[in-house]
Amino acid sequence: MEAAEEKTGSMSAAQLRAEKRRRKLLLNSEDRMNRIVGFAKNEPDHSAAALRPAEPRFHLDLDRSEPWSSPSPRPSPFLSEAPGVRSHTATPERRGSPLPDFGQPRRASLEGDVGGLRHRAKAERPSDEAGGSPRPGLHQYLSRFDDAMKLRSQLANEKPEQDGGSDVEEFDPFRVFRLVGSVLLAVFVRVFVCKYLSIFAPFLTLELAYMGLSKYFPKVEKKTKTTVLTAALLLSGIPAEVISRSMDTYRRMGDVFSDLCVYFFTFIISHEILTLFGSETP
């Protein structure tokens, strides 16, 4: 009898505990649903999220297009999706980072993202005004902070690669062709041409010819390294397209300079060799 009473008492205590647990779960179910459906919280972002205690209140992460409590959508400037469409899949870094580092397809998505950035920034202001969002400046700051953290992690990832092969020149077929052409032209100019005109005239002609010949060679996509400079330029608001084009122009100028150095060097060496043999022959 007493055992039965104890059992009933313990069951009711267990039942009471179960009931309490059930109520607690029901109370938090809405929040849990919001968390599951509203955004996909990425695990690597937890460390970054730990640095931003105020973030859950305003702008959780770049995949989320809706905040917790605010009714109006608040998309990240680096998302290329329309407002209200949620993405659960990838971070902007994977989908289309603003960083010019992954070749043309990503560059296209990057430019699209940055175009989306501008469009979104323009659209965000009236929508914020319409939706009554209280702190657009703070949102922008937080989104830029997120981007800065991502750029920092990307720089940190790229740094070991750069340390291993810093300043290594890449030799694609066209580059090799250019250098060999410069060497041959320099020897030819030293032997036959230099008495009649300046040595730089044939070089300029050669470079013009290379510009025309470049389309006949297979294009090699060069991976643009994310350096501190590019990251700083991106964060300061300069469009990624402008940065890509500038870096492309700078690379072409570097190629021309390399050709000129090889040409001049070969010319001087041939001149010295010919002078040496000329002085030695009786």
- The residue ranges that bind other proteins (CB under 8 A) are 167-169, 171, 179, 194, 198-200, 257-258, 261-262, 264-265, 268, 271-272
- Residues 256-259: contacts with CB within 8 Å, 24+ apart? 256/207, 258/178, 258/179, 259/178, 259/179, 259/182, 259/203, 259/206, 259/207, 259/210
| Tokens describing residue 249 | 């122009």
Q: Which of helix, strand or coil describes residue 138?
A: helix
Closest approach of other proteins to the CB of residue 101, in Å = 21
Measured from the CB of residue 210, what is the shortest distance to other proteins in angstroms? 16
Compare residues 8 and 198 and give the one whose CB is closer to other proteins.
198
Cβ closer to other proteins: 19 or 272? 272
Cβ distance to other proteins smaller for residue 186 or 243: 186
Q: Which is nearer to other proteins, 194 or 235 (CB)?
A: 194
Least separation in angstroms between residue 280's CB and other proteins is: 13
Nearer to other proteins, 185 or 243 (CB): 185
Distance, CA of 72 to CA of 58 (rounded, Å): 12
> Tokens 């070969």 — which residue?
266
Give the type of residue at 45.
D
8 Å CB contact between 199 and 182: no
Q: Which residues contact 218 (CB under 8 A, 6 or more apart)?
A: 172, 173
Cα 115 to Cα 138: distance, rounded to the nearest angstrom:
21
For residue 132, what are the contacts with CB-CB under 8 A and spacing of at least 6? 72
Q: In 3D, which of 254, 174, 266 has the Cα closest to residue 214?
A: 174
Smallest gap from Cβ 230 to other proteins, in A, equals 22
CB of 272 to other proteins, least distance (A): 6
> CB atoms < 10 A from the CB of 232, how many?
12
Please identify, using beta-carbon distances, which residue of 192 and 237 lies nearer to other proteins.
192
Smallest separation, CB 79 to other proteins (Å): 40
> Given the complex with other proteins, which of 92 and 181 has the nearer CB atom?
181
> What angle do the packed helices 240-280 and 200-213 form, to 10 degrees?
140
**Residue 228 or 261: which CB sits closer to other proteins?**
261
Min dist. Cβ of residue 268 to other proteins (A):
6
Give the shortest CB-249-to-other proteins separation in angstroms: 19
Across 97-119, b (16+ Cβ under 10 Å) vs e yields: bbbbbbeeebbebbbebbebbee
Residues, the chain, total?
A: 282
